[in-house]
Amino acid sequence: MRLLDLLHPHLDGVTEVVDTTGGGIPLEPYLHLPEGIRLTRSDPEDPGPVGEGRLALLSYGPDPARHGDEAAFTAALGRMRPGGRGLVVFGHATTELPYHRLLDGLVTHRCQVLRAAGLGYVHLHGGAVFTCTEHLLPLHDGAGRPVPDGGGDGGDGGRTALRIADEYVLTDFVSRAQRDRLLDLERRHEQDTRTLETLRDETGAERAAAAIRERDQIAAALRQARERVGVLEARVAMLQGSTSLRVGQVLVSAARSPLRGSARLPRELYGMWRGRSKGGRPVAARPAGSAASGFPALPEAASADGDRLHLAHRAFSAGPRDRLVVAGVLNAATAADFAHDAVVNRALPHDATLVAERTDPDVLLVQLSACTGPGPWTHTGTGLAPDLDRRLADLLATARAAGRPTVLWRDGPASAAPGLSRFPWDAVLDGDTGVQPARLDPATTARADLREIFTSRATRVRLSQLARIAGAADPLDARRVAVLADPRDGAEVSRLIGQVLTQLHRPAEVLVPSPGGALAELTAGGVTVRASGDGPSTPWVADWTDLAEEREAAHLLDLMCAQECSGADAVGYSAEGAGFVPHVNGFRPALVRKSLWRAPEGAGRLFTIRREDAR
């Protein structure tokens, strides 16, 4: 909610709004006061009373220098007179507001709170409208409408007071139950955390001891194998250098080619006899693959015991990591959906640890359905494939050693693979892996369903949860939109602010020719205001230069839904229907990629959607 939505319904009969906040927070850009109501600042030396026709602006929050403290709030209440009204804005979060500190001052100075609501600003989280009165006034509901049984003149048989008393008791009853449940959940969370840490320590020690034993066994087996290989190599060398073998080879060669071999046989036998009589060692036969055979010989280091052969060519690229990198146990469908918004490396049982080491992922993800459904990891965690359990344990140990979080995506019943819960996960996510909008047809899918998928069920939303756990690039950054506008007067500024802050998919920044204090409410609403000459910093740009056009709250939401479903470079509204259309002269899309925003016509793929009210 905006501040004007809270204030304007209570401006009837008000001619002057008095700012008593002391200038800690300039509230003027948020008010958008109608004509006939002037804004004045309270004189610190002579503040004056606030009575009929006047409304006081107050603030209260955790930062006394900015929001004011309890004493300043109570002093401002002391200047309230019957008929005077007030609006107090809170710097505290809604759930952390110490309203009990303000009740005494409100009651002492005969001030009745008419309405309280949350505000969608970065530094102002809520506000309340009150009035100074000698008798109870009608209560208001959450929308600011008077409740039907209000009287206001004391002649309603005390129904207003009765309603207040009843609501207080029932609200306290519900809030106490919620507080008890919250405390109980916090205690359980602390116990579960301690238990998990204990299990991790015990499991880690056991795994370390088992790994050390396995390492020693492998090292012993490797030493025995090397010793055996050394003995065999010595025997082969001895056999290759023996005279009996050489004589046999010569005789076999002569038998294969009697005509030529018989003529060379005496000479070769004589040469062998002369070499033996001189005590010289026979020269070993040239190995296959030598230079004489026409193939390059392997380097000497490659034949050394224990060395590895490496590829002669390696490819490497470096740059800022602007996409989430996921590695782990995933089924094919999930990997394909995730690949639209992240770098995905599927780990298989034979190369899992190498994938975790070489790809340097932001997070290691194990999907439960990939362990229970058909695939290379089937039966993992069920007790039916202990070898796969061991490989998964090695994979998790590798990821944790590299400082990467390990996450279990439980998209099925935990009982399907109970063994997975025994592994030390850094986080567990429950639910499906989301819906990939690229698989949907925006022309045939209901608009309400598209919006619901986009905001809460899309694959990109699910991946955002992983990104927060890993501290990596958020896939939702690809949805950031910059609004390009050119307001020419105060009315268009107010219209621009209203259209931007009411968007269900709020833009990340607004580009205007001359940023100024008149757009401070946008900054307070979390929207960056920048000069249009600097260019957008977001992937998408929306053209709002025509502020006379009506833009509903779902304007940007529908455009982004259509873009993610179609993969288009530009999206616009059309009266004919939805679909890709060829370039049309003079047609400017409502949403375009940043790379095309200066000249969107004739570039990229244009997708049009029908306005909801035109169906």
Residue 283 pLDDT exceeds 70: no
Work out the percent of the chain whose per-residue pLDDT is above 90.
Answer: 48
Which residues have CB under 8 Å from 264's CB, separation 6+? 254
Number of domains the chain is built from:
3
**Regarding predicted confidence, which is higher, 172 or 415?**
415
pLDDT-based confidence at 192, cuts 50/70/90? confident
Q: Which pLDDT value is given to residue 138?
A: 75
> Mean pLDDT across the chain, nearest whole number?
82
Is pLDDT larger for residue 317 or for residue 386? 386
Least confident window among 71-75, 101-105, 249-253, 392-396:
249-253
pLDDT-based confidence at residue 229 (cuts at 50, 70, 90): confident
**Region 150-168: what's the mean pLDDT?**
64
549 in Cβ contact with 539 (< 8 Å): no
Residue 280 pLDDT level (bands cut at 50, 70, 90): very low
End residue of a domain, out of 470, 500, 534: 470
Instruction: Looking at the structure, tell me whether residues 464 and 526 fall in a common domain.
Output: no
Residue 236 lies in a domain: no
506 lies in a domain?
A: yes
**Residue 442: exposed, middle, or buried by beta-carbon count in 10 A (0-12, 13-18, 19+)?**
buried
Q: Is 382 helix (H, G, I), strand (E, B) or coil?
A: coil
Confidence of residue 387 (pLDDT cuts 50, 70, 90): very high
**Predicted pLDDT at 95:** 81
For 138-147, 380-389, 497-506, which range has the lowest pLDDT when averaged over its residues? 138-147
Contacts (Cβ under 8 Å, ≥6 apart) of 204: 424
Look at 309-313, 406-410, 580-584 and tell me which has the smallest mean pLDDT.
309-313
- Supply the pLDDT for residue 425: 93
Comparison of pLDDT for 313 and 44, the residue scoring more: 44
The pLDDT score that the predictor gives to residue 19 is 92
Looking at the fold, whether 494 and 464 belong to one and the same domain comes out as: no
Which of these three, 470, 505, 538, is where a domain ends? 470
For residue 141, the model assigns a pLDDT of 67
Give the pLDDT band (50/70/90) at residue 586. Answer: low
Q: What is the mean predicted confidence (pLDDT) over 262-272?
A: 64
- Beta strands in 521-569, from DSSP E residues, in sequence order: 528-531, 540-543
Instruction: Choose from 55-59, 144-148, 283-287 the range with maximum mean pLDDT.
Output: 55-59
| 429 and 454 both lie in a single domain | yes
| Dist CA 487 CA 501 (whole Å) | 16
What is d(CA 545, CA 485) in angstroms, rounded to the nearest whole number? 4
In a domain, 33, yes or no: yes
Q: For residue 458, what are the β-bridge partners?
A: 435
> The sheet that has 481-484: what strands, in order across it?
528-531, 509-512, 481-484, 540-543, 591-593, 570-573, 606-609, 579-581
Q: Tens digits of per-residue pLDDT, 79-107?
A: 999 999 999 999 998 888 888 888 889 99
Task: Give residue-wise pLDDT tens across range 60-81.
Answer: 999 888 888 888 899 999 999 9
Give 294's pLDDT tier (boundaries 50, 70, 90). very low
Quote the pLDDT of residue 309. Answer: 40
What pLDDT was estimated at residue 315? 42
- DSSP three-state, residue 404: coil
> Are residues 522 and 484 both part of a single domain?
yes
CATH number where 21 lies: 3.40.50.150
- Please tell me the predicted confidence (pLDDT) of residue 16: 95
How deeply is 477 buried, as exposed, middle or buried, from its count of CB atoms within 10 A (0-12, 13-18, 19+)? middle
Q: Which pLDDT score is estimated for 159?
A: 72
Residues 446 and 572 both lie in one domain: no
- Residue with more model confidence, 382 or 263: 382
Q: How far apart are CA 530 and CA 480, in angstroms?
A: 15
Q: With a cut of 80, say whether residue 162 has pLDDT above it.
A: no
Split at pLDDT 50, 70, 90, the class of 228 is confident
Same domain, 422 and 498: no
* Full residue range of the structural domain in which residue 486 is found: 480-614
- State the DSSP H helix or E strand holding residue 85, giving kind and residue range, or none if neither: strand 85-90
Sign of the dihedral defined by the CA atoms of residues 542, 544, 545, 550, in that order: positive
DSSP for 159-187, please give it.
HHHHHHHHHHHHHHHHHHHHHHHHHHHHH
Task: Encode pLDDT of 565-575 as tens digits.
Answer: 999 999 988 87
Amino acid at 56: A
Q: Which residue has the higher pLDDT, 222 or 319?
A: 222
Residue 185 has pLDDT above 80, yes or no: yes
Residue 339's alpha-carbon distances to 112, 176, 320, 362, in angstroms, are: 57, 46, 18, 14
Same-domain pairing of 446 and 495: no
Does the residue 288 lie in any domain? no
> Which pLDDT belongs to residue 603?
60
Q: What is the mean pLDDT of residues 156-171?
A: 73
pLDDT of residue 477: 95
Cβ-contact 39, 17 below 8 angstroms: yes
Domain with 504 in it: what CATH number? Answer: 3.90.550.10
Length, in residues, of the chain: 615
Residue 298 has pLDDT above 90, yes or no: no
End-to-end CA distance of the chain: 30
DSSP code for 435: B
534 shares its domain with 403: no
| 12 and 115 co-located in one domain | yes
* Radius of gyration over every alpha carbon of the chain, rounded to an integer in angstroms: 39
Look at residues 107, 134, 161 and tell me which one is the last residue of a structural domain: 134
Give pTM, 2 decimals.
0.71
Q: For position 292, what pLDDT does the model report?
A: 39
One domain for residues 450 and 332: yes
Q: Is residue 553 situated within a structural domain?
A: yes
Q: What is the pLDDT of residue 152?
A: 46
Between 224 and 511, the more confident residue is: 511
Reported confidence tier of residue 269, pLDDT bands at 50, 70, 90: low
Q: How far apart, in whole angstroms, are the C-alpha atoms of residue 442 and residue 567?
A: 11
Domain-embedded: residue 434: yes
Q: What is the pLDDT of residues 471-526, one digit of tens each?
A: 999 999 999 999 999 999 989 999 999 999 999 999 999 999 989 888 999 999 99
pLDDT in tens, 113-131: 988 889 989 889 999 999 9
pLDDT digits (tens, 9 = 90+) for 423-443: 989 999 999 999 999 999 887
Q: Which pLDDT does position 419 carry in this prediction?
A: 93
Mean pLDDT of 324-335: 95
